[in-house]
Structure 1
Amino acid sequence: MTPDLFGRHRAVLPDWLALYYEDPLEITHGEGRHVWDAAGNKYLDFFGGILTTMTAHALPEVAKAVGEQAGRILHSSTLYLNRPMVELAERVACLSGIPDARVFFTTSGTEANDTALLLATAYRRSNTILAMRNSYHGRSFSAVGVTGNRGWSPTSLSPLQTLYVHGGVRTRGPYAHLDDREFTDACVDDLKDLLGHTRAPAALIAEPVQGVGGFTSPPDGLYAAFREVLHERGILWIADEVQTGWGRTGEHFWGWQAHGQNGPPDIVTFAKGIGNGMSVGGVVARAEIMNCLDANSISTFGGTQVTMAAGLANLAYLLEHDLQGNARRVGGLLLERLRSVAARVPHVREVRGRGLMIGVELTRPGTDEAAPEAASAVLEEARAGGLLIGKGGGHDTSALRIAPPMSLTVAEAEEGAAILERALRSI
């Protein structure tokens, strides 16, 4: 990157606004699954702008829809009827699985989760929220207050009383030694015990796969078992699908469907990929929950015509080209390839994930002690080899996060795995 741009960044932007790499990268353009930096270097992108470029860089169908809409009108606010917003809401409501669904569009996942918490606490008249350990739900005051990952929770002050539940991380914690059935039973018992010591909570908010937490997840069915306990007590279930939505896990369109034996969640939040880089988020809920607010509200920038046009074009492309199926097929191959590599690298504790949502957890060899310095070293080596990946994890950011655009080809998966293998062997 141009040195003076880094200096200008540091002079006017917050210190806590994280940048990857010792020599920060300026990305100037992209195409398909590749991006280029200001020096002209080409990279295979296995992180997609933190899972936002879900389909492909510079996807012609989305670019065309955005350009045509921009030539008509960009924005008018929710005070006026908005055809693209209604059309996308109809599609999302249908895909949500929630009966009599209503959709509210926001500009980000943080804002979507913030809205879900507002709805749940107003509907239940309770400010107590259940959340998962190692979770991440955004950077707003309320979202930080339900984030169970200390690395992303800068304050303990909160408008909510948050109680944290076991279960989001399968291979760490007091129940890690149990088999899947025993693990689920122990987490359910923990939830029941917790509920016996508190006033009735408004909701449980949970990511089906924890994103910032390092792509960790519980055994399939755990949230279905939780829902049974919650439903008996009238407590709502909020599925945070900001990172898992739109088929990224390959097996299902939504992450919650791996836990859907007892029906859909009461509230689903989404963002990241639906706009393929455009700023789109939203909330889906049953009408009685969505309509429970007794005060006026609008959204100035949520659901603008241009972002809704992008969302419609991107969703249509994703469905017509079965990118969910591609995530399952190519993601499965990539996962097995990385597990084969990891077996020969002492720093790798676990390779986990599903679809094109893969985490590689690094520890100091022979221990369960996190190795954030190793993760940083691999990030740098991968970049030097022409591959961009992410980092995360609840244990000192020692997990590599791999989430390419869902149109990834088998050849590109093999290329990325080979670069990552060399980077891992370098440590």
Structure 2
Amino acid sequence: MNGDLLGRHRAVLPDWLALYYDEPLEITHGEGRHVWDAQGNRYLDFFGGILTTMTAHALPEVTKAVTEQAERIVHSSTLYLNRPMVDLAERIAQLSGIPDARVFFTTSGTEANDTALLLATTYRRGNTILAMRNSYHGRSFSAVGVTGNRGWSPTSLSPLQTLYVHGGVRTRGPFAGLDDYDYVAACVDDLKDLLGHSRPPAALIAEPIQGVGGFTSPPDGLYAAFREVLHERGVLWISDEVQTGWGRTGEHFWGWQAHARSGPPDMLTFAKGIGNGMSIGGVVARAEIMNCLDANSISTFGGTQITMAAGLANLNYLLEHDLQGNARRVGGLLIERLRAAAAHVPAVREVRGRGLMIGIELTKPGTDEADPAAASAVLEAARAGGLLIGKGGGHDTSALRVAPPLSLNVAEAEEGAAILEDALRSIQ
């Protein structure tokens, strides 16, 4: 049956629409932290539809909210007052930490980042953008134009002039051998030098932890140090929280809070987990920035009633059950368990991450050379053992990505770690 579906997929969908696994998987249903395929096999899900099933599969509170809203009205567009949209916007504005915040809802993280770039370039009256090397911000024309990861950048054409800054990958590059203090100082000096050779930028867009790039991150405080330099020049800071938001990192509700010395960003973008599978994205910005557009704009599908109902129910569940605290506790246990397992596998260069956002970088033993074949082999072996994970990275996709739903319990973390340990050992 899967072969027939795969043939149909290939006949009507783009060649570049990648599928995991040598024998691609059709997921038919899920519950909690588990999913099932079309053959009835059960898997522990440590990727959550790319960090999107944030709380749990088939969470009763969310499915109930969606069902009840669908029985009333599904959609009306932003041309009419929308109570669920206002309710969720109020909650997100308060949680964002941004003063006098305004919220605009979109349908994806790509569209959220696209909107933030539109706002920044309009507000600052310039199209120069600073972005991080190894970054990923989406698949639209403008988002690709600020993506610093060659594997996800199919064109060099862009409406923006993008300058790439060093610092998002702690353990590679010219400053990798420095301690954290000197690393930050060197990156700030590099930024200052770059600014001296360019037109005044509109904004810096940065992921606090790079998602598609393999869950890499700088030392805490780097973006605060960048902010101090940028603020003097009026340059905005956009924090791309599409993957780091909503408490996934455990220690903080937003990724920017690890760099909070200089206060909140001017804008933050969000998506993925807030909808727990429903299509929600958005931008939070200070009112003066959000209101800078001087032409009409609407969103047909952004903030639709049914997605807002899902987002509200999901956010309430996350806060009421302290899933951020659970990510910190269970994620801390999981990362230490994976580090212990990886210590016996020469192909593992690094186990890194925070909370339930963990990356395992694989290289050819004894070198820093990426080994994407090993990453694919571990992905296959983990699936055979009953575990779904992801992969990514800026060096030929050689990092495994581990990001379970935030309700993961200790027993499931241990089970998944044991499967992953066996999968890592299988490539030796």
TM-score, structure 2 length as denominator? 1.00
Could you report, residue by residue, the CA deviation over 1:232-251 in whole angstroms, capped at 9, with x for unpaired residues? 00000000000000000000
Paired position in structure 1 for 2:364: 364
1:14-25 correspondence to structure 2 within 5 Å: 14-25=14-25
Paired position in structure 2 for 1:37: 37
After TM superposition, which residue ranges in structure 1, 4 or more long, deviate above 2 angstroms? none
Residues 1:174 and 2:165 are matched in the alignment: no
- Calculate the aligned-residue CA RMSD, in Å: 0.4
Could you report, residue by residue, the CA deviation over 1:53-73 in whole angstroms, capped at 9, with x for unpaired residues? 000000000000000000000
> Offset at 1:31?
0.1
Distance (Å, rounded) in 1 between the aligned partners of 2:415 and 2:249? 21
1:188-337 correspondence to structure 2 within 5 Å: 188-337=188-337
TM-score, structure 1 length as denominator? 1.00
Paired position in structure 1 for 2:74: 74
Distance (Å, rounded) in 2 between the aligned partners of 1:90 and 1:260? 22
Distance (Å, rounded) in 2 between the aligned partners of 1:379 and 1:246? 27
Paired position in structure 1 for 2:402: 402
Distance (Å, rounded) in 2 between the aligned partners of 1:212 and 1:17? 16
Read off the aligned partner of 2:141 and give its amino acid letter: F
Matched residue SS, 2:395: coil
Paired position in structure 1 for 2:113: 113
Matched residue SS, 1:131: strand
Read off the aligned partner of 2:53 and give its amino acid letter: T
Distance (Å, rounded) in 1 between the aligned partners of 2:288 and 2:260? 21
Matched residue SS, 1:360: strand
Paired position in structure 2 for 1:147: 147
> Offset at 1:366?
0.3
Matched residue SS, 1:260: helix
1:54-93 correspondence to structure 2 within 5 Å: 54-93=54-93
> Offset at 1:374?
0.1
CA contact (8 A) 2:216 2:352 kept: yes
Could you report, residue by residue, the CA deviation over 1:103-160 in whole angstroms, capped at 9, with x for unpaired residues? 0000000000000000000000010000000000000000000000000000000000
Read off the aligned partner of 2:76 and give its amino acid letter: S
Paired position in structure 2 for 1:423: 423
Residues 1:387 and 2:387 are matched in the alignment: yes
Matched residue SS, 2:262: coil
Distance (Å, rounded) in 1 between the aligned partners of 2:272 and 2:100? 24
> Offset at 1:2?
1.7
Could you report, residue by residue, the CA deviation over 1:235-291 in whole angstroms, capped at 9, with x for unpaired residues? 000000000000000000000000011110000000000000000000000000000
Distance (Å, rounded) in 2 between the aligned partners of 1:344 and 1:6? 37
Structure 2 gap segments, 5+ residues each: none
Structure 1 gap segments, 5+ residues each: none
Distance (Å, rounded) in 2 between the aligned partners of 1:210 and 1:330? 21
Paired position in structure 2 for 1:340: 340
Matched residue SS, 2:170: coil
Residues 1:378 and 2:371 are matched in the alignment: no
Paired position in structure 1 for 2:47: 47
**Number of aligned positions between the proteins:** 427
Could you report, residue by residue, the CA deviation over 1:276-326 in whole angstroms, capped at 9, with x for unpaired residues? 000000000000000000000000000000000000000000000000000
Distance (Å, rounded) in 1 between the aligned partners of 2:114 and 2:70? 29
CA contact (8 A) 2:127 2:202 kept: yes
Distance (Å, rounded) in 2 between the aligned partners of 1:262 and 1:11? 52
Matched residue SS, 1:284: strand
Read off the aligned partner of 2:77 and give its amino acid letter: S
